[in-house]
Chain A
Amino acid sequence: MTRLCVVRAGALSTVQDLGRAGWAHLGVARSGALDPGALRLANRLVGNPESAAGLETTLTGCDLRPTRATTMAVVGAEADVWVGDRPGDTGRPLAVPGGTLLRIGPARRGLRCWLAVAGGIAVDPVLGSRSTDTLSGLGPSPLRDGDRLPLGAPAGPPAPVDVTVPVAHPAQLDLAVRLGPRHDWFTPAALDLLFGTAYQVSPVSNRVGARLTGAPLPRAVAGELPSEGLVLGAVQVPADGQPLIFLADHPVTGGYPVIAVVDDVTPLAQARPGTTVRFHGPQR
């Protein structure tokens, strides 16, 4: 079996596919690639089904060596890619000879890359998915130097052509939200602050959530909210009033009120600490 040797695992590289939907009632989060569109594209570029498992790297990239010749593609952050000593492009299929090092360098802009390999990463699925859930620990462990990942049999030829839209890395993210389900737990002033002031992505953000710092959002209702189900993009406001936007590895239930839900969280996958976030909604 062809394997992918992990020469340098990088800061946090995990196996990700499109996640394990349908188990939240048992306390199991969906998980999956933080930007599913990017993983789908990478998979198409190497001839995989879009749902195949690839790798998600964080900030520092990773270095990998396939035991046999294969096709790979890297999509996401702006980073240098090398096939051996020759530079490669992101957003295109890369022919990687057996034993040759594929290097994804540190992200110059953005944060995360998705790497697909022909045949997909073939670790054993857990509840129908190969994704690493960093909160619960389900799925394979994050990559370590020296890991040897099994690869599946290539499903088809690499895509001859695909549309690869360059990823934008704006210094400010404008996120559309819909209020609720618990906006009535907050004062009118809190809604003015949410829509009228800028927040910054905090360094303690991760795959569970993007933590924000900025104007604390004052509550109209004191006390605890009985735990209730959470969705991807929920903007939860813990006791300190600083909002937190839940991402793929979010807990399935939570006991702090959710003031609003972000329509599309994928831009947050590339948001470095310090990135400005502004919210706007259909209501305003």
Chain B
Amino acid sequence: MRIRPVGAHALLLDFTANPAEPADLRAAQPSAAEVAGMVEAWRAELWRRRDRGDLVATEIVPAAATVLLNGVPDPMAAADRIAGWAPPSPATTALADADLLEVPVTYDGEDLPRVAGHWGTDVPGVVRRLGRTEFRVAFCGFAPGFGYLTGLPAELAVPRLATPRPRVPAGSVALAGPYAGIYPTASPGGWLLVGRTALTLFDAHAHPPALLTPGTRVRLVTA
């Protein structure tokens, strides 16, 4: 892990190899799954430490390969302390105990044949594969309540549409890169549509407002 300063009030915990470093230093690059595991473990650990009062940060924001700490009163001092914290082992975090959320999905997305083509299977094969994958919300972004779900192996990554659709309906279940995601509201989007759910993904007046919070385990079950 590298800790990078971000302006005057933030730190970025970076779990990737630095692509700006010489290739020999990047040789022992962790796999995407290992990086995701470290992000989740540190995200959970930092949230716990903040709850306990060991850490002051307005925002703790996990992402693909980093965790951002924003609103940190003295980032340099915080960086020193964080560097001294033992990196929690993914196996011992609360991850395994996290609630499993079952999302009922009607698999009728118009890009199912395209995904089947990328995966070298047929449409029922895509549905079976998605149904038996245990996903986890790695991070949120793009829109309030839009969770990036990890769990598919790297070789099943799919490209985005070259031209995004002007309007993807709310509840659309879709794939892009190594991620699955569910559109919380109608918006433009370039992800490949595989189905839809009737669940409300984001409700500002609910607690918590997002159904898919970082760390949540998710199954996309056939509705």
Closest A residue to B3 by beta carbon equals: A181
* B20: Cβ under 8 A from any A Cβ: yes
What separation, in Å, do the CA atoms of A180 and B10 have in the docked complex? 11
B208 pairs with A26, CB closer than 8 A: yes
Which of A35-43, A55-63, A204-212, A226-234 forms contacts with chain B?
Answer: A226-234
A21 pairs with B145, CB closer than 8 A: no
Closest Cβ–Cβ distance, residue A253 to chain B (whole Å): 4
A228 pairs with B64, CB closer than 8 A: yes
* A25: Cβ under 8 A from any B Cβ: yes
A25 pairs with B9, CB closer than 8 A: no
Closest A residue to B35 by beta carbon equals: A226
A226 pairs with B10, CB closer than 8 A: no
Chain A residues within an 8 Å CB radius of B18? 184
Interface residue count for B (Cβ, 8 Å)? 44
* B172: Cβ under 8 A from any A Cβ: no
Given contacts A22-B59, A180-B6, A185-B19, contact A28 B144 (CB under 8 A): yes
What separation, in Å, do the CA atoms of A136 and B141 have in the docked complex? 11
A25 pairs with B213, CB closer than 8 A: yes
* B5: Cβ under 8 A from any A Cβ: yes
B7 pairs with A261, CB closer than 8 A: yes
Chain A residues within an 8 Å CB radius of B12? 181, 228-229
Central interface residue in A27, A227, A251, by most chain B CB within 10 Å = A27
Which of B65-73, B88-96, B106-114, B191-199 forms contacts with chain A?
Answer: B65-73
Cβ 8 A contact of A185, one of B20, B145, B209: B20
What separation, in Å, do the CA atoms of A137 and B58 have in the docked complex? 22
Chain B residues within an 8 Å CB radius of A182? 4
Chain B residues within an 8 Å CB radius of A22? 58-59
Interface range on chain A (Cβ under 8 Å from partner): 35 or more
Chain B residues within an 8 Å CB radius of A221? 19-20
Closest Cβ–Cβ distance, residue A128 to chain B (whole Å): 10
What separation, in Å, do the CA atoms of A151 and B204 have in the docked complex? 22
Closest B residue to A21 by beta carbon equals: B58
* B8: Cβ under 8 A from any A Cβ: yes
* A174: Cβ under 8 A from any B Cβ: no
Chain A residues within an 8 Å CB radius of B210? 26-27
* B62: Cβ under 8 A from any A Cβ: yes
Chain A residues within an 8 Å CB radius of B202? 26
A181 pairs with B5, CB closer than 8 A: yes
Cβ 8 A contact of A227, one of B59, B60, B63: B63
What separation, in Å, do the CA atoms of A24 and B60 have in the docked complex? 8
What separation, in Å, do the CA atoms of A227 and B14 have in the docked complex? 12
Given contacts A180-B5, A229-B68, A231-B10, contact A27 B144 (CB under 8 A): yes
Contact with A along B35-61 (1 / 0, CB 8 A): 000000000000000000000001111
Central interface residue in B7, B62, B146, B205, by most chain A CB within 10 Å = B7
Given contacts A24-B59, A251-B141, contact A231 B20 (CB under 8 A): no
* A162: Cβ under 8 A from any B Cβ: no
What separation, in Å, do the CA atoms of A117 and B14 have in the docked complex? 45
Chain A residues within an 8 Å CB radius of B61? 24-25, 229, 252-253
Contact with A along B114-146 (1 / 0, CB 8 A): 000000000000000000000000011111111
* A138: Cβ under 8 A from any B Cβ: yes
Chain B residues within an 8 Å CB radius of A153? none
B5 pairs with A26, CB closer than 8 A: no
B14 pairs with A181, CB closer than 8 A: yes
B70 pairs with A231, CB closer than 8 A: yes
Cβ 8 A contact of B20, one of A24, A184, A258: A184
Chain B residues within an 8 Å CB radius of A229? 12, 59, 61-63, 66-68, 70
A25 pairs with B62, CB closer than 8 A: yes
A263 pairs with B141, CB closer than 8 A: no
What separation, in Å, do the CA atoms of A50 and B68 have in the docked complex? 28
Cβ 8 A contact of A138, one of B6, B10, B144: B144
A231 pairs with B7, CB closer than 8 A: yes
* 30 examples of A-B residue contacts, CB within 8 angstroms: A21-B71, A23-B144, A23-B209, A25-B213, A25-B214, A26-B202, A26-B209, A26-B213, A27-B140, A27-B141, A27-B142, A27-B144, A27-B146, A27-B210, A126-B205, A127-B209, A180-B4, A180-B5, A184-B18, A226-B16, A228-B12, A228-B63, A229-B12, A229-B59, A229-B61, A229-B70, A231-B70, A251-B142, A253-B139, A253-B141
Given pairs A180-B5, A253-B139, 8 additional interface contacts (CB within 8 A): A23-B144, A23-B209, A27-B146, A180-B6, A221-B20, A226-B64, A251-B142, A258-B6
Which 9 residue pairs spanning A and B have beta carbons closest together?
Answer: A229-B68, A261-B7, A226-B64, A253-B141, A184-B20, A229-B61, A27-B140, A181-B4, A26-B210
